[in-house]
Structure 1
Amino acid sequence: MSDSPERKFFENIYRIFSRPLSNIDCGEKCGAFNEYGVPVCCDINLIVPSAYQAEWDYLKDMTDLWQPWSSSNPIDADLEDDVQDGQVLLKCLGFRQCQRQYRTMTCRAFPFFPYLDSKGNFLGLVYFQEYRELCWVISNLSIVTSAYKAEFQQAFNLLFMQYPESKESYSQFSSHLRNEKVISDDKIILLDFEDNVLLLDPDSEISYQVSYEDLESFGPFSITKDLIFPDESPD
C-alpha cells in the first residue's frame, strides 16, 4: 500500500494532528495514581485503542509498535461489539517504547471525542465520562492548548470527509451522551474552537460560557488541583 490514497491520507492527518494536548507531561500526573506509574491513556487494562482498517494497514507498514489486541476474558467481548464499523482494536509495546509519530487517532484525541449537536454541527471537544476519576486532564481542562484544539478540529473534519460513517457514529455517541445527561440532570462540558469552555444543556442544547475555575474536579485530582505546580500553565 506504499502509494495508496489511504496511506497518504493517514500520513497527512498524522502530520496535521501531531501536537500533545498540553505543554506539560500529563502522564506524569495521572501515572502517580495508577498501577506501576503507567499513564492512564497508555494502560491497556483500562483503555484499548482502536484504529481504522486503513490506518492499521498504514501502521503495520511503518512500525512494529502495534499489534492486534485480543483477550480470553469473556468480559472483554463487549469491546469488540462496541468498536465502530471498519475499525480494529490494537495494543502497543507500552508507553516507555512509544513512537509518538505513529500514535493512532484515538491516542491523539484521548480523553476527548468530537462532539456534534443534533443538527450534525461539529462544536468542539467533550471528554469521555468514564475516565473522570482516572485522567488528570479532565480535572484540569485549562491546560489543553488552543493549538491542540485547532489540530483536533482540522484532523476530524478531514476524517469525517474521508469516513462519513465515522461522523455519524460520533453524532450518535453525542446523542447518547445528551440522553444520559438529561437523565442525570447534568450539563455537558464542551471545549469549543474559540478557546471557550461551555456548559451545554443536553435537552435544549443551549450553552453558556463558564470559567475553568468553576469546573468540578474528580477523584484524587480534586485534592491535587488546589496545589500549584510550576509547570502547569495554559498556553
Structure 2
Amino acid sequence: MPHILIVEDEAAIADTLIFALQGDGHSTHWVTLGSAALEQQRLHPADLIILDIGLPDISGFETCRQLRRFSEVPVMFLSARDGEIDRVVGLEIGADDYVVKPFSPREVAARVRAILKRIAPRSEPEGRAQGPFEVDTVRMQILYHRQPLSLTRHEFRLLQCLLEQPERVFSREQLLDAVGVPADAGYERNIDSHIKSLRAKLRQVAVDAEPIQTHRGVGYSYSPSHR
C-alpha cells in the first residue's frame, strides 16, 4: 500500500485529500508544518509527498529544497498561485507535479497514481551496458566510463530514456513523460535545465565528450559517436 505524506495547514483541505487518497487504496499521514514533514520523511519515509506551498513555518518551496538534500521522494505541490513562474520554480527544485487550488480530489488521486506508476521499477535486467554507460535499474545508478554519476531521480530517468534509443530525437514533452512529469503541466523548458545539469556531470568524467546532442526546435538525443 503506497504511503502518502500530506503537508497542509488547512484541515478541511487535508481531510478532503485523506478521504480521496485512502479511498484510492493509499495510506496517509498528515502534518501542518514543513519542518514536521522533513522530520517525518527522515523517520518514516513516504512514497510520495503532497506539499502545500503556503505553510506557517517555512514555505513549501524551501521545504522541498531541504528535502532534496536527503531524499528523492516524488513531490506534488499544492498552491493557490497559478502563475507560470511558480510552476517553473517548483519543477526546478525537484517537484513532480503542481496542482492549483481549488482542485478536484479525484484529479489529485489520479495524478498521484500516475506519478507512482511512472517511478515504479521496470522489469529489466539489473545492469545493461550502452557504450560508455552502464545502467543499473535496480539501484537507480548509471556509470559513465565506469564512474558512478551522482544523479537526481529526474536526471536518472532522463538519461535512461535517451540511452535506451540511441540517435532517436526526443521532444521535450516526451522527455517530461520519461521523468514522470505530466506533459500538459507547462514544464517543457525545464528539460533544458536538466540537460544542462546532466552535461556538466558528464564533462566531469570525460571533458571533451558530448554524448547528448541538441536538435534546435525539436529536442535531444543520445549519440554514441560523440561519447
- TM-score, length-normalised on structure 1? 0.28
Q: Going by fraction, where is helix more abundant, 1 or 2?
A: 1
Q: Going by fraction, where is strand more abundant, 1 or 2?
A: 2
- TM-score, length-normalised on structure 2? 0.29
Larger relative contact order (CA 8 Å, sep ≥ 6): 1
